[in-house]
C-alpha cells in the first residue's frame, strides 16, 4: 500500500517539508511562518505572518465558561492524561462553539457577486435559518473581528468575502431586534477564504489557536486540585 504526499519526506535521517530541511525551518522560521508554509507551500510576507498570528491569538481562550474549556477541565478532574482532556475539549467544539467557521466559509463562498444582501438576510430571517458566523452568547459586539479585519487589510487579504461578512452584519443590525454581531468564527472564515483556504479544513485553524488555551485551562484545573467535578444535588432540578 502506498500513501502519496507532497508535504513531508524523510531521507538519509533528514526531514524535509515541501522540500525544505526541517533543521533550517527550526533555526530560521517562526511557528506561524511554518504553519503558513505547510498549507500554502510558500512563505508569508511579514504582514501575512502578523495576520495568521492575529487569527490564532484571537481564539486562544475565551474563558472557563465555554463548552470546550468546561469539558476539558471536567475531564481532567477525573484523573485522565492531558491529551485525553484536550481531546475531550476539542470534541466539545461544534456548530455553535468554535466549529462555525466551515459553515460560514461555505455561506460566503455561495453568495454571488452583486447579490442583494438585504434581501438575502430578509429571506434568511423569514425562513428562520441560523447564519453560521453570526451571533454570540456573551458579546453584543465582537471586537476581535475589527482587529482581525484591520490586519487583513494591512496584509492585502481583505476582499469580497470580508465585505460580504460585514454587509450581512450591517443588515442583521438593521433587521433584528437584538444584537446578532459578526463573530470571530465568521471573520476567520472570510479571511481564510481570502488567503485560499478551503472551507472543509477551515475549522482546523480554530483548533491551532485554541489548543494552547485548553492546555492552560487544564493546567489551572490540576493546579487548583479541585477534585472530581460533579454537580451538587442542589444544582440538579428533578422533573
- Against a cut of 0.75, is the pTM above it? yes
pLDDT for the residue 127: 85
Contact of 49 with 32, CB cutoff 8 Å: yes
What strand order describes the sheet that includes 14-17?
8-11, 14-17, 20-21
Distances (CA, A) of 61 to 1, 37, 85, 144, 211: 41, 25, 16, 12, 9
Quote the cell numbers at residue 122: 430578509
Would you kindly state where each structural domain of the chain is located, as residue ranges?
A: 1-43, 45-226
Q: How far apart are CA 43 and CA 20, in angstroms?
A: 11
Segment 126-135 shows an average pLDDT of 88
Convert the pLDDT of each residue in 43-54 to its tens digit. Answer: 999 999 999 999
Q: Which residue has the cell 431586534?
A: 177
CATH topology of domain 45-226: Cytochrome p450-Terp; domain 2 (1.10.230)
Q: If pLDDT is split at 50, 70 and 90, which confidence band does 141 have?
A: confident
Scanning the structure block, which residue is given the C-alpha cell 442542589? 234
Average predicted confidence (pLDDT) for the chain: 94
Q: Which residue in 204, 156, 213, 210 sits closest to 38, CA to CA?
A: 204
With pLDDT > 70 as the criterion, what percentage of the chain qualifies?
Answer: 100
Residue count (the chain): 239
Residue with the larger pLDDT of the pair 18 and 96: 18
At 90-117, the pLDDT tens digits run 999 998 888 899 999 999 999 999 989 9
**How much is the pLDDT for 179?**
83
Amino acid at each position: 500500500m502506498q500513501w502519496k504526499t507532497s508535504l513531508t519526506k524523510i531521507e538519509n535521517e533528514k526531514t524535509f517539508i515541501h522540500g525544505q530541511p526541517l533543521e533550517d525551518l527550526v533555526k530560521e522560521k517562526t511557528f506561524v511562518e511554518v504553519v503558513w508554509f505547510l498549507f500554502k507551500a510558500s512563505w508569508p510576507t511579514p504582514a501575512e505572518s502578523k495576520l495568521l498570528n492575529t487569527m490564532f491569538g484571537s481564539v486562544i481562550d475565551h474563558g472557563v465558561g465555554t463548552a470546550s474549556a468546561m469539558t476539558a477541565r471536567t475531564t481532567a478532574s477525573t484523573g485522565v492524561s492531558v491529551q485525553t482532556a484536550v481531546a475531550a475539549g476539542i470534541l466539545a467544539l461544534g456548530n455553535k462553539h468554535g466549529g462555525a467557521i466551515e459553515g460560514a466559509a461555505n455561506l460566503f463562498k455561495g453568495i454571488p457577486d452583486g447579490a442583494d444582501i438585504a434581501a438575502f438576510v430578509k429571506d434568511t430571517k423569514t425562513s428562520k435559518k441560523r447564519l453560521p458566523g453570526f451571533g454570540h452568547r456573551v458579546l453584543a459586539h465582537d471586537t476581535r473581528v475589527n482587529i482581525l479585519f484591520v490586519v487583513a487589510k494591512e496584509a492585502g487579504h481583505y476582499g469580497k468575502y470580508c465585505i460580504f461578512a460585514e454587509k450581512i452584519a450591517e443588515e442583521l443590525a438593521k433587521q433584528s431586534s437584538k444584537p446578532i454581531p459578526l463573530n470571530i468564527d465568521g471573520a476567520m472564515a472570510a479571511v481564510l477564504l481570502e488567503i485560499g483556504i478551503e472551507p472543509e479544513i477551515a475549522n482546523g485553524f480554530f483548533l491551532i489557536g485554541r489548543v494552547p488555551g485548553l492546555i492552560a485551562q487544564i493546567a489551572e484545573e490540576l493546579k487548583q486540585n479541585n477534585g472530581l467535578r460533579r454537580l451538587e444535588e442542589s444544582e440538579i432540578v428533578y422533573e
